[in-house]
Amino acid sequence: MAPLILDDKYERALKDLGVPYAHLKETPTKTEAPAVTDNDWTIDGVNYRGKIIPVTLSRELLPAMDLAQMTAHAKKAMKTGKPYSADVQLVYAIAKRAMEQDNQEVRKFMRESIFNTYPNTLSVVRYNPTGKLDEVVHNPGLPNKSSTKVDFISPDGWVKGSARKNDYKALLGTTNPDEVDDVFGWVTGKRAHLYKVNSKPANVDERVVWLLADSNRFFLYCGRDPQGASASFGVRLPQKI
């Protein structure tokens, strides 16, 4: 895939957040699979894709990787029981369960990561040309890939009170935008804002779902260049999902 050029809208938004534009276009560096340590959280009762499971969350973020690197790393890690990058649906499920359990350690870790590191996720939105539905894909290229076709393109907006429930069903596995705002509000202390491509592209435009926050809001940022590298939340699941 040829490198995607972010439009002025995304460049301006990231400058407002204090994120250098070059940070999105950096040449990704090769990374080795991190070793599993005993320094993890096991979070019981996580509701992920309709199953209640325990999830192991690493206490350290995985090294900075772009989409292709996260996918390649995850393929190896799943076979060896090592942590791999979480998709955004799993990040949300972990945060929701941590809120229910009032797990302040996990809350602090996720909050600091979102404010300081801007984690990547193994989720993408494929914005399609006129006449085709868009597609939200979790874990692309992996055995546990899932995808949903949805009319995703619309103006950006605050999550709370949104009438676009199908967006959140595809993205996070819930039809309750107010709950999404509550969960990420608990993590970050900020109201959640969904950021996306606003008009149909001439060709398929694939963007990574990215998590970040500033002093004004938490961003569900569905517009990152797939070649942008960031750290990510490391997870292990007890079974094939």
pLDDT in tens, 145-171: 999 999 999 999 999 999 999 999 999
How confident is the model at residue 18, as a pLDDT?
55
- Are 220 and 159 a contacting pair, CB within 8 Å? yes
Distances (CA, A) of 236 to 12, 37, 52, 78: 36, 12, 14, 8
Only one residue has tokens 């290229």, namely 141
pLDDT tens column, 213-229: 999 999 999 999 999 99
Tell me the whole-structure pTM to 2 decimals.
Answer: 0.86
In percent, the amount of the chain with pLDDT more than 90 equals 82
How confident is the model at residue 9, as a pLDDT?
53
- Are 157 and 194 a contacting pair, CB within 8 Å? yes
| Lookup: tokens for 234 | 């490391």
Q: Is the pLDDT of residue 234 over 60?
A: yes
| Intra-chain end-to-end CA distance of the chain, in Å | 28
DSSP string, the chain: -PPPPP-HHHHHHHHHTT--HHHHHPPPPP-PPPPP-S-EEEEEEEEETTEEEEEEEESSPEEEE-HHHHHHHHHHHHHHT--EEPPHHHHHHHHHHHHHHT-HHHHHHHHHHHHHT--EEEEEEEE--TTS-EEEEESTTSTT-EEEEE------EESTT-S-HHHHHHHHS-S-HHHHHHHHHHHHSS-EEEE---S--SS-EEEEEEEEE-SS-EEEEEEE-TT--EEE-EEE-SS--
